[in-house]
């Protein structure tokens, strides 16, 4: 569907176009045509004047009984007042400075009047109503038909009403040249669709309700098909991008690492490992998503791939979402590699917090190629960071990085590097196809042998005995030489409770994308309740809990400097701290196998995926883990439902499905996930899962017979155009 990219000012005039751009973000004819109604109402839902509800929008059929124009008191301008009646009640319509309307609004005329019902000096009135007059000799039939015409209601802005949009749409539609169908005829037939042209006209100007319903269905298929085609096209194009093949040589770093590994790789780790080696040996870049349950050992798999690249003379960069995680990856890699192997491959850490000398040294190591494996944060993306020969990028916990950041790092290779993205938040199949259809996906479903189960329980705050028992459990674990986490939703009393994540802007959005914390927040906002627990406040309170007296209690949160955080994490790792009170800084990847119990305060403030990630911090050693979720959420609330889901299962895939269901639709495709503004308008990934999968198959069939889209030039053009729109958007970010 190639819609005109003509700027709106040429069609609507300067002023209207400017305000449409400013308030609705609509700049071209295509933008406007793709601004679909939110819903449709009917004029047929008519209300007698005597029963009009003040403050609501209503429509009446009435006759004009009086017309008068008067000057406004004390200032320039006039008011046109029209009295109307439906035979029982009376009301007035007012127009400011629109005396010209007297020409059509004459005594005796009959029509429909719609608008928001107000009252002025105790009398009902409609200010600047929308109206449509009947022809003088209107047949009852016509009046009825007109009254039942669906009226599109558009997403509007405070300064641009849905009617203004409707009028602009009419101007555009009246002069529009026919829209050609870009969909393969086969798909149109199979899904029994309207033509693209009919669909665009009927979604905006339906005559009966069935019109817009079919139009929506049709346009939905267009949207889903185009998305799948885009993803498949990217995938096919990627096959043609050339890069260096990286073949691990025998007796190299990888071989040494494998020989010294203190544990046995799981079956999954071996399989995925082989898959990665195969990818790396190819001459087109790998673009793979590795998903695996928290603790399933993704890092080892990634490290082995990085060692293979090192053996082949290339460099690898592991991008971690936070300073804490980067430092921890660095430390644990050094440990698992052993000092000599770590030195041999020049294992290097690069974060924004290094002092100048260390930073400079790290940069030199990278540009000279001495550092074959580097671990870092978004500092790796900075302009002055140069690699000698970047062969592989590993992105840990993908949801914290936007498409743009990924792209920036990719640009640093002489040739496009291989990319491995890891996530512990499993992506439901439905969503994976929708958003990550251009990636290959590997899954680690099995946990390493001996990994202990995590038991999760909800503790309601109105059960003081159970709360006391929670602290008691911590004391018992510490008594057995173990450690504990206490997680709070905010840092201190001044913190509204949304922690800033160090990796920057995109993280915030992605956070809501995955967690549904928005919804939690909305529900929370409804009623006043006890203040949220804070990490700093809780540290103090815990010192006064008798059961915990004598324990070493530490604090960790995102407002501490990296040195402070590293110091605290170091102490926790060395067991100098028994109980670590923290915010969600510890959410991803933190690996302290000796920690066995976690208490989460105000657990209802966290999303399903987030809770699952959090509790994955315990039970990583040889002892079972325990997660206690404290909450004030009431029986029957969504919040409690969410917590029960988390308590019931530790299957991340199941939870991610539940999360999707509980989460508001619109948040599903975060901007950074879908790659730009042109994200989905009509398709809903959950409800439309079947449709999406069907269209995936349809798109695959098409590319099979016509991989370059030679025989479908209009489709090729449409995809091209979509990409351009996305590109301009990305460069503006």
Q: Please enumerate in sequence order all residues whose Cβ is within 8 A of that of 121, keeping only pairs 6 or more positions apart, or say none.
A: none
Q: E strands of 46-142, at which residues?
A: 57-71, 78-85, 90-96, 110-120, 123-127, 130-133
Q: In what order do the strands lie in the sheet with 579-582?
A: 454-460, 625-631, 595-600, 483-487, 579-582, 553-556
User: Which residue lies nearer to ligand ADP by CB, 223 or 293?
Assistant: 293
Spatial separation of the C-alpha atoms in residues 402 and 686, rounded to whole Å: 22
Q: Identify residues 529-558 at the interface with Mg ion (CB under 5 A).
A: none
Element at 690 (helix H, strand E): helix 689-705
Cβ nearer to ligand ADP, comparing 353 with 452 = 452
Q: How far is the CB of 332 from ligand ADP (least distance, A)?
A: 7
Residue 166 site contact among Mg ion, ligand ADP, none (CB < 5 to 8 Å, cut-off depends on kind) = none
Contact segment (CB under 5 A) with Mg ion among 263-271, 461-469, 498-506, 588-596 equals: 588-596
Q: What's the token pair of residue 59? A: 């429509």
Considering CB distances under 5 to 8 angstroms, the limit depending on partner class, which of ligand ADP, Mg ion, none binds residue 269? ligand ADP
Cβ nearer to ligand ADP, comparing 202 with 620: 620
Q: Quick one: which segment of 106-114, 228-236, 485-493, 581-589 binds Mg ion (CB under 5 A)? A: 581-589
* DSSP assignment string, 570-607: HHHHTTS-SEEEE-GGGSSS---TTEEEEEETTGGGS-
| Strands of 212-314, DSSP E | 287-292
Confirm if 617 and 592 have CB atoms less than 8 A apart: yes
Q: Near Mg ion by CB under 5 A, which window of 176-184, 242-250, 585-593, 656-664?
A: 585-593
Q: Return the number of the residue (268 or 428) whose C-beta is nearest ligand ADP.
A: 268
Smallest distance from the beta carbon of 527 to ligand ADP, in angstroms?
A: 37
Partner touching 295 among ligand ADP, Mg ion, none, CB below 5 to 8 Å by kind = ligand ADP
Nearer residue to ligand ADP within complex by CB, 447 or 709: 447
Q: How far apart are CA 373 and CA 303, in angstroms?
A: 9
User: If contact means CB under 5 to 8 A according to the sort of partner, which of ligand ADP, Mg ion, none does residue 712 touch?
Assistant: none
Closest Cα to residue 578, out of 489, 491, 488, 481? 481
Could you tell me the end-to-end alpha-carbon distance of the chain, in angstroms, rounded to an integer? 27
Contact 108, 99 (CB under 8 A): no
Residue ranges binding ligand ADP (CB under 6 A):
263-266, 269, 292, 294-300, 424, 448, 589, 591, 620
Residue 342 or 683: the one with the smaller Cβ distance to ligand ADP is 342
Q: Which residues contact 226 (CB under 8 A, 6 or more apart)?
A: 182, 718, 719, 722
Nearer to ligand ADP, 276 or 669 (CB): 276
Give the C-alpha separation, 240 to 547, whole Å: 64
Binding partner of residue 297 among Mg ion, ligand ADP, none, CB cut-off 5 to 8 Å per kind: ligand ADP
Beta carbon of residue 621, minimum distance to ligand ADP (angstroms, whole number): 9
Nearer to ligand ADP, 419 or 680 (CB): 419
Nearer to Mg ion, 244 or 398 (CB): 398
CB 588, CB 613: distance < 8 Å: yes
Q: Across the strands, what pairs with 289?
A: 421, 441
Candidates 661, 667, 655, 724; CA nearest to 689 is 661
Find which of ligand ADP, Mg ion, none residue 536 binds, CB within 5 to 8 Å per kind.
none
- Residue 448 near which of Mg ion, ligand ADP, none (CB within 5-8 Å, type-dependent): ligand ADP
Interaction partner, residue 243 (Mg ion, ligand ADP, none; CB < 5-8 Å by kind): none
Minimum distance of ligand ADP from residue 448's CB (angstroms): 3
Beta carbons within 10 angstroms of residue 118's beta carbon: 14
CB of 374 to Mg ion, least distance (A): 17
**Strand, coil or helix: 692:** helix
Going by C-beta distance under 8 Å and a sequence separation of 6 or more, which residues neighbour residue 529? Answer: 632
In the complex, minimum distance from the CB of residue 667 to ligand ADP, in angstroms, rounded to a whole number: 25
Which one of ligand ADP, Mg ion, none is in contact with 125 (Cβ closer than 5 to 8 A by kind)?
A: none
* H or E element in which residue 444 lies: strand 440-444
From residue 660, give the alpha-carbon distance in Å to each of 616, 642, 664, 710. 20, 11, 8, 38
- Contact partner at residue 263 from ligand ADP, Mg ion, none, CB < 5 to 8 Å by partner kind: ligand ADP
Our finding on whether 489 is near Mg ion (CB under 5 A) is no
Q: Smaller CB distance to ligand ADP: residue 450 or 550?
A: 450
- 207 vs 264 by CB, closer to ligand ADP: 264
Closest residue to ligand ADP, judged by C-beta, is 297
Among ligand ADP, Mg ion, none, residue 205 binds (CB under 5-8 Å by kind): none
Question: 516, 589, 616, 625: which one contacts Mg ion (CB under 5 A)?
Answer: 589
For the bound state, the minimum distance from the C-beta of residue 450 to ligand ADP, rounded and expressed in Å, comes to 7
Q: Which of 101, 121, 618 is nearest to 629 (CA)?
A: 618
Total interface residues for Mg ion by CB under 5 A: 1
Residues at the contact surface with Mg ion, assessed by CB under 5 A: 589
């Amino acid at each position: 569907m190639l819609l005109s990219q003509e700027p709106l000012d040429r069609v609507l005039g300067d002023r209207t176009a400017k305000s449409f751009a400013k308030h609705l973000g609509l700049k071209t004819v295509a933008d406007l045509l793709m601004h679909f109604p939110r819903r449709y109402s009917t004029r047929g839902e008519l209300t007698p004047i005597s029963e009009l509800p003040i403050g609501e929008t209503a429509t009446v059929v009435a006759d004009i009984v009086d017309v008068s124009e008067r000057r406004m008191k004390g200032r320039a301008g006039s008011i046109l007042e029209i009295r109307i009646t439906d035979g029982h009640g009376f009301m007035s319509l007012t127009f400011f400075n629109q005396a010209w309307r007297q020409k059509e609004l004459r005594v005796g005329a009959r029509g429909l009047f719609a608008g928001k019902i107000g009252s002025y000096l105790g009398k009902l009135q409609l200010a600047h109503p929308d109206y449509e007059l009947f022809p003088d000799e209107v047949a009852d039939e016509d009046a009825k038909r007109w009254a039942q015409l669906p009226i599109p209601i558009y997403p509007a802005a405070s300064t641009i009403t849905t009617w203004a949009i409707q009028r602009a749409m009419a101007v555009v539609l009246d002069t529009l040249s026919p829209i050609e169908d870009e969909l393969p005829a086969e798909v149109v037939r199979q899904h029994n669709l309207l033509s693209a042209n009919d669909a665009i006209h009927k979604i905006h100007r339906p005559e009966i309700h069935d019109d817009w319903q079919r139009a929506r269905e049709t346009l939905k298929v267009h949207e889903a098909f185009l998305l799948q085609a885009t993803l498949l096209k990217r995938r096919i194009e990627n096959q043609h991008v050339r890069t260096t093949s990286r073949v691990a040589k025998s007796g190299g770093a990888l071989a040494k690492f494998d020989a010294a590994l203190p544990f046995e790789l799981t079956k999954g780790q071996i399989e995925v490992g082989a898959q990665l080696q195969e990818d790396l040996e190819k001459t087109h870049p790998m673009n793979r998503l590795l998903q695996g349950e928290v603790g399933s050992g993704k890092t080892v798999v990634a490290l082995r791939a990085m060692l293979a690249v090192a053996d082949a003379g290339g460099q690898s960069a592991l991008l971690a979402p936070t300073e804490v995680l980067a430092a921890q990856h660095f430390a644990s890699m050094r440990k698992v590699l052993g000092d000599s192997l770590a030195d041999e491959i020049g294992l290097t850490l690069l974060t924004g917090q290094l002092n100048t000398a260390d930073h400079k040294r790290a940069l030199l190591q990278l540009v000279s190629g001495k550092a074959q494996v580097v671990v870092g944060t978004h500092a790796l993306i900075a302009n002055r960071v140069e690699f000698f020969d970047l062969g592989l990028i590993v992105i840990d916990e993908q949801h914290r990085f936007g498409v743009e950041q990924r792209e920036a790092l990719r640009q640093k290779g002489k040739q496009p590097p291989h990319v491995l993205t890891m996530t512990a938040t499993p992506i439901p199949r439905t969503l994976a196809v929708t958003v990550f259809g251009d990636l290959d996906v590997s899954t680690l479903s099995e946990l390493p042998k001996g990994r202990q189960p995590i038991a999760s329980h909800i503790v309601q705050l109105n059960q003081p005995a159970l709360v006391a028992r929670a602290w008691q459990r911590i004391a018992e674990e510490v008594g057995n030489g173990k450690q504990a986490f206490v997680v709070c939703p905010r840092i201190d009393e001044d913190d509204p409770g949304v922690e800033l994540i160090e990796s920057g802007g995109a993280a915030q959005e992605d956070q809501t994308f995955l967690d549904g914390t928005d919804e939690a927040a909305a529900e929370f906002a409804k009623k006043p309740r006890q203040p949220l627990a804070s990490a700093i406040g809780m540290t103090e309170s815990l010192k006064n809990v008798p059961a915990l007296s004598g324990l070493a209690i530490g604090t960790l949160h995102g407002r501490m400097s990296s040195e402070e955080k590293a110091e605290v994490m170091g102490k926790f790792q060395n067991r100098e701290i028994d109980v670590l009170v923290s915010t969600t800084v510890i959410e991803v990847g933190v690996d302290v196998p000796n920690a066995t119990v976690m208490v989460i305060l105000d657990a209802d403030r966290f999303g399903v995926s987030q809770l699952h990630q959090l509790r994955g911090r315990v039970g990583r050693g040889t002892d079972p883990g325990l997660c206690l979720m404290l909450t004030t959420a009431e029986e029957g609330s969504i919040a409690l439902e969410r917590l029960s889901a988390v308590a019931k299962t530790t299957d991340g895939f199941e939870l991610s499905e539940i999360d999707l269901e509980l989460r508001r639709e619109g948040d599903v495709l975060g901007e950074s996930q879908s790659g730009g503004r042109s994200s989905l308008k009509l398709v809903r990934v959950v409800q439309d899962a079947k449709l999406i999968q069907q269209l995936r198959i349809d798109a695959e069939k098409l590319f099979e017979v016509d991989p370059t889209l030679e025989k479908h030039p209009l489709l090729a053009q449409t995809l091209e155009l979509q990409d351009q729109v996305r590109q301009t958007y990305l460069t503006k970010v």
